[in-house]
A and B are shown apart, each in its own frame.
Chain A
Amino acid sequence: MSIVEETRIALLEMFPEFAAADAAARAAADKIDDEMETMIDEMDSIEPATEGDAPAGGDDEVEAAEPAEAATEPVPEPEEPEEEGPRENGVMLTDHAARGTDIDVLCAPDQVVQAARIMDESGFFLEAITGVDWIKDDKLEVIYDYNQYGQEQCRVVVRTLIPRSEPEIPTISDVMPSANWHERETHDFYGIKFIGHPHLIPILLPEDADFHPLLKDFKP
């Protein structure tokens, strides 16, 4: 199993409602794979045809599950491309060549600590924390980038949306010490309060700064 797949399954722990369906889908996919293997064993003559299907089944278990188990509930497709309208919470695979990330997670603000814990246990390190001010939607987005030292690429981005009027989110600095400075920086630039942070004072801005320059309505 590739590291991307392993990490995706680990992250699904955050979304029990998807995890059950995903496990079912994976079991189904495995079953198909097994069946295919037996089929390949049985019929060596039509190898080219089965070969064409096999990678699809191995790569994307959800897609593979669709035709097979129509009886099980319709599998929520985390890989769906972004549609119009808000995206639902969940785990999404992204194309590394196009986006630079492999897994994209959208979660509730109080789940970021759980996400950090899962990433920590999977041996990831924190690359950066930042915010984005979506002033039109009256929301602030907080983005956590995780990466790992392995030879295989797997960059995970965990994002969450918090209301602009009450920008508060739990700290992950007790899970990942590197978050300490990144959270202070994000607090400087966006005024996001990281609840439970041990030392939330300005890091890059002057020590008495009471402004947050990356908010879109900031006037110098």
Chain B
Amino acid sequence: MTVPIECRQDETFVLNLGPQHPATHGVLRVKLTLDGEYIVEAEPVLGYIHRMHEKMAEDRNFAQFMPNTARMDYLHALAFNHGYCLVVERAAGIEVPERAEYIRVITVELNRLISHILWWAAFLLDLGGFTPLLYAFDDREQVLDLLERVTGSRLTYCYFRFGGVYNDIDDEFITGTYAFIKRLRSRMPTQYHALVTGNIILQKRLKGIGIITEEQSRRYGCTGPVARGSGINYDIRKNEPYSVYPEFDFDVPVYHECDSMARYMVRMDEMEQSMRIIEQALDKLPDGPVKAKVPKILKPAEGDYWASVETARGNLGHRLVCDGKKNPYKLKLRSPTFCNLSCFAEVSEGMLLADALAFMGSLDLVIPEIDR
């Protein structure tokens, strides 16, 4: 398709940011109209790695779609496992044993932790700080090893099954997780907060930049740390409790500054809360089976079902429409970053290009999840 080149009368010009740009963490293109260094108009162009997961869901049976779920959000793959399991379990009326629920929570929270750690590293890389990346990868590696022990993979997990999990956790995993949390707790104040959070350069780059007001957040359907950084106390784990989350004592960090720093602080605090949840879950871990007896081929009753989970980036929703056959009639994926990014055009108007990149980083974009 050829697009006629528009000759602009004013002094503005068009700049393509991406699709191959280190700051977009994947193949996202933003068509920017700039006036000097200020953004007049920004239009995110998506779809560079669109794989039509929703179509794939329609022509395979329920269990066969499970590996696909991990390939959307590769940083918090277990939450996508969890979301899909929840909606299918709701449709088919499957009960999950308690031990399996605990294991789900432990692994999902570990995964959330390393998702935030990697976001932190990549975000600071965008801002020009290289050292934190090395510290972050050191910590992340520990969790990857732990998760590899139980799930069998390091990134694109396919660990959850309808009615439980694939594999029980062992003592080595439990002691390893305790040790990791102890280690991360001791590193948090120094490597994370003293080195980075208190840094004056970071503060000047983030404070007061990229303001998403509460009203904007609602109109654009923002969820997760983006909404919580805008002063909205909304976390699916609390608002719409699923799994065994109601049994744990944890807080939902909310910041009212609405800027990039608020979103940064929400994620840093959330890491602390995830560690609290993991510790409580490990302390209370009940005995029992880790998988319910579920038929190999599921045929849920006709109707449509919705289930939401809280991923590291926000509200992940699945809408499943069943027609009584062995594959989904329709599966809709509501990915959190897709909605969070949609406010970019409005918020970045009038911003400096360098600030817009910092703002984009603070949204925590994972492109495969946007493009699905």
Which A residues have a C-beta under 8 Å from some C-beta of B? 82, 98-101, 123, 125-128, 130, 132-133, 143, 145, 147, 149-151, 153, 155, 157, 176-178, 180-181, 189, 202-208, 213-214
Q: Is there an interface contact between A100 and B308, defined as CB atoms closer than 8 Å?
A: yes
Q: Is there an interface contact between B54 and A214, defined as CB atoms closer than 8 Å?
A: yes
Q: Is there an interface contact between A125 and B221, defined as CB atoms closer than 8 Å?
A: yes
**Could you say which interface size class chain B belongs to?**
35 or more
A99 and B303 in contact (CB under 8 A), knowing A128-B317, A149-B233, A203-B47?
Answer: yes
Q: Chain A residues with Cβ under 8 A from B90's Cβ?
A: 98-100
Question: Which of B54, B227, B317 touches A145 (beta carbons < 8 Å)?
Answer: B317
Which B residues have a C-beta under 8 Å from some C-beta of A? 1, 46-47, 50, 52, 54-55, 58, 87, 90, 218-221, 227, 232-234, 238-240, 303-308, 315, 317, 319, 321, 329-330, 332, 334, 338-339, 342-343, 346, 371-372
Q: Is there an interface contact between A128 and B332, defined as CB atoms closer than 8 Å?
A: yes
Q: Chain A residues with Cβ under 8 A from B317's Cβ?
A: 127-128, 145
Q: Is there an interface contact between B219 and A178, defined as CB atoms closer than 8 Å?
A: yes
Q: How far is the CB of A198 from chain B (nearest CB, A)?
A: 12
A208–B303 alpha-carbon span in the complex (Å): 35
B contact face: mostly helix, strand, loop, or mixed: mixed
A127–B234 alpha-carbon span in the complex (Å): 14
Question: Which of B50, B232, B343 touches A204 (beta carbons < 8 Å)?
Answer: B50
Q: Chain A residues with Cβ under 8 A from B334's Cβ?
A: 127-128, 145
A157–B334 alpha-carbon span in the complex (Å): 14
Q: Chain A residues with Cβ under 8 A from B332's Cβ?
A: 128, 130, 143
Q: Is there an interface contact between B306 and A157, defined as CB atoms closer than 8 Å?
A: yes
Q: Is there an interface contact between B46 and A208, defined as CB atoms closer than 8 Å?
A: no
Question: Chain A: which residue is nearest B55 at the CB level?
Answer: A213
A73–B356 alpha-carbon span in the complex (Å): 61
Q: How far is the CB of A147 from chain B (nearest CB, A)?
A: 8
Q: How far is the CB of A215 from chain B (nearest CB, A)?
A: 10
4 additional A-B residue pairs with CB within 8 Å, beyond A127-B315, A149-B232, A214-B330: A123-B218, A177-B219, A204-B50, A205-B47
Q: Is there an interface contact between B46 and A204, defined as CB atoms closer than 8 Å?
A: yes
Q: Chain B residues with Cβ under 8 A from A181's Cβ?
A: 338-339, 342
Question: Chain A: which residue is nearest B90 at the CB level?
Answer: A100
Q: Chain B residues with Cβ under 8 A from A205's Cβ?
A: 47, 50
A126 and B221 in contact (CB under 8 A), knowing A100-B307, A145-B306, A177-B346?
Answer: yes
